Amino acid sequence: VPALVALERRSRASVLANIVAAARLRDAVILLAEVDALYDDRGELASDHRDALASIPGVVIATTSGRGHVELHRPQLSITMPRMELVDRDRAWTFALQHHGGQPTDAAELAGRYVIGPGAIAEVVGEAQRYAAAAGTPLDRDALEASVGRRLTVRLGTYGTVVHRKALFSELVLPDDVVDTLHDMVAMVRERTKILEQWGYQRHLGISRGVSGLFSGEPGTGKTMAASVVASELGLELVRIDLSAVVSKYVGETEKNLGKIFDEAQDAHAMLLFDEADSLFGKRTELKSAQDRFANLEVNYILQRMETFDGVSVLTTNAEAAIDPALQRRLNFRIRFPEPEPDEREQLWRRLLPPQAGLHEALDFAALADKFDMTGGYIKNAVVRAAVIAARAGRALTADDLWAGAHHEYVEMGKVMPQLAR
The footprint of ligand ATP (CB under 6 A) covers 171-174, 217, 219-225, 276, 316, 318, 348, 352, 376-377, 380
**Residue 406 near which of ligand ATP, Mg ion, none (CB within 5-8 Å, type-dependent):** none
Q: How far is the CB of 187 from ligand ATP (least distance, A)?
A: 21
With CB under 5 to 8 Å by kind, the binding choice for 172 among Mg ion, ligand ATP, none is: ligand ATP
At its nearest, how many Å lie between Mg ion and the CB of residue 27? Answer: 59
Find the shortest distance in angstroms from Cβ 348 to ligand ATP.
6
- 79 burial type by CB count under 10 A (0-12 exposed, 13-18 middle, 19+ buried): exposed
Query: What are all long-range contacts of 340-343, with beta carbons under 8 Å and residues at least 24 apart?
Result: 340/173, 340/221, 340/375, 340/376, 342/366, 342/369, 342/370, 343/369
Closer CB to Mg ion, 224 or 254, in the complex: 224
- Choosing from 94, 129, 147, 224, the residue that interacts with Mg ion (CB under 5 A) is 224
Query: Which is nearer to ligand ATP, 115 or 173 (by Cβ)?
Result: 173
Amino acid at 162: V
Q: Where are the alpha helices (DSSP H) in 329-374?
A: 342-352, 365-371
CA gap 409, 341 in Å, rounded: 18
Is residue 98 helix, strand or coil?
Answer: helix
- DSSP letter at 239 equals E
Q: Cβ 238 to Mg ion, closest distance in Å?
A: 13
Contacted entry of ligand ATP, Mg ion, none for residue 311, CB cut-off 5 to 8 Å set by kind:
none
Which among 158, 159, 112, 170 is positioned nearest to 273, based on CA atoms?
159
- Among 217, 234, 247, smallest CA distance to 315 is for 217
Comparing CB distances to Mg ion, the nearer of 224 and 313 is 224
Nearer to Mg ion, 224 or 381 (CB): 224
Least separation, in Å, of the C-beta of 347 and ligand ATP?
A: 8
Residues 111 and 132: their CA atoms lie apart, in Å, by: 21
The residue at minimum Cβ distance from Mg ion is 224
Tell me the closest approach of the beta carbon of residue 409 to Mg ion, in angstroms: 16
Which one, 148 or 322, has the nearer CB to ligand ATP? 322
Nearest-angstrom CA–CA distance, 52 and 75: 15
Closest CB to Mg ion among residues 303, 314: 314
Q: Which residues bind Mg ion (CB under 5 A)?
A: 224
